[in-house]
Amino acid sequence: MTHGFETLAIHAGQDPEARTGAVIPPIYQTSTYAQDAVGAPRLGYEYSRSGNPTRDALQECLAALEAGQVGLAFASGLAAEDTLLRTVCGPGDHVVIPDDAYGGTYRLFAKVAERWGLAYTPAKVSDADAVRAAIRPGVTTVVWVETPTNPLLGIADIATLASVAHDAGALLVVDNTFASPYLQQPITLGADVVVHSTTKYVGGHSDVVGGALVAADAELGERLRYHQNAMGAINGPFDAWLTLRGIKTLGVRMDRHCDNAERIAAYLDGHAKVGQVLYPGLPTHPGHEVAAKQMRRFGGMISFRAAGGEEHAVETCNRARLFVLAESLGGVESLIEHPGRMTHASAAGSPLEVPSDLVRLSVGIETVEDLLADLEQALG
């Protein structure tokens, strides 16, 4: 049976509990399970690293929301990324990565995976020809994409890059954290694996850290499941329960995030103290048409370049009040940060270094007039 997104978010993997009829899945806060006999675990549960009913409910829901075959939950987004890389890549392989990406992802490639023997090449993911040129035939195993990218809000054409990757015998991996599955479903456009930091929009309340992988193919999904257990960076039952709770309101939250972001982007676009606004919902954004084609709406993330340079950007972040100065994104509260000194400091001096005058906003769901007033005073 096919259901709408909001129905799946509330019900997928979340049938009332059989024994008591509890509407919300219980938190199975246990490390191990009694077995009926040697070699006969009850319902297949032996040990909570390998399987836990609360985590299974989250994983089933994530797979349904992303239209995939297998969903897997992890302790963090980076734990999910690391498990994926060590499942589908080996020493001597090569990955194409975005030339604009989350600083932690870049650090994983540059400081961890490269020492293991995994080579990488940054490419502009909004340019299919640049991605194609970065591929090393017979060596590239993964084309890794963020769309929108973090923090410059670039847009990649997922369907086109799926063809580019598959023509080269590589997998297309899409980090869908900024869009969330409500706004974009990369698997329906040809992606092989979707990555999430569920800490962000999926959880949505800045109270839980987690990550996820969703595989389009059942066989790849089972390989990933094997490595999830073997490597052990799993999502705990209480964290899984909190994430499921957040998912239930993902659709309505994203609509408000988008409403507010559209108003704020238009305001910033005409502000004398803002040099450039980066938001795919603006018709002047170079990726606007592609975003309109593959996204339901344009998201709650905005970046802008302060007209007064780095010092003005830092002062703006420091003066904000309703926009909390903090790393992370995707919660119900609005956040502001200076990527060059905060989330993307690890990319300094690399091809992924971000402009020093850049400010990134995670637009929350507060009253938008209050947010606009806060930005007005923060910009000085």
Catalytic machinery residues: 49, 102, 175, 200
CA-CA distance, 305 to 214, in Å (whole number)?
A: 34
3-state SS class at 236:
coil
123 close to 109: Cβ distance less than 8 angstroms: no
CA-CA distance, 250 to 82, in Å (whole number)?
A: 26
DSSP class of 320: -
Determine the angle formed by the axes of helices 368-378 and 309-319, rounding to 10 degrees.
Answer: 130
Which one, of 112, 13, 103, 29, lies nearest residue 66 by Cα?
Answer: 13
CA-CA distance, 38 to 332, in Å (whole number)?
A: 48
DSSP string, 124-184: -TT-HHHHHHH--TTTEEEEEEESS-TTT-----HHHHHHHHHHTT-EEEEE-TTTHHHH-
Joined together, the tokens standing for residue 331 give 């919660």
CA-CA distance, 23 to 16, in Å (whole number)?
A: 4
CA-CA distance, 252 to 330, in Å (whole number)?
A: 13
Amino acid letter at 121? T
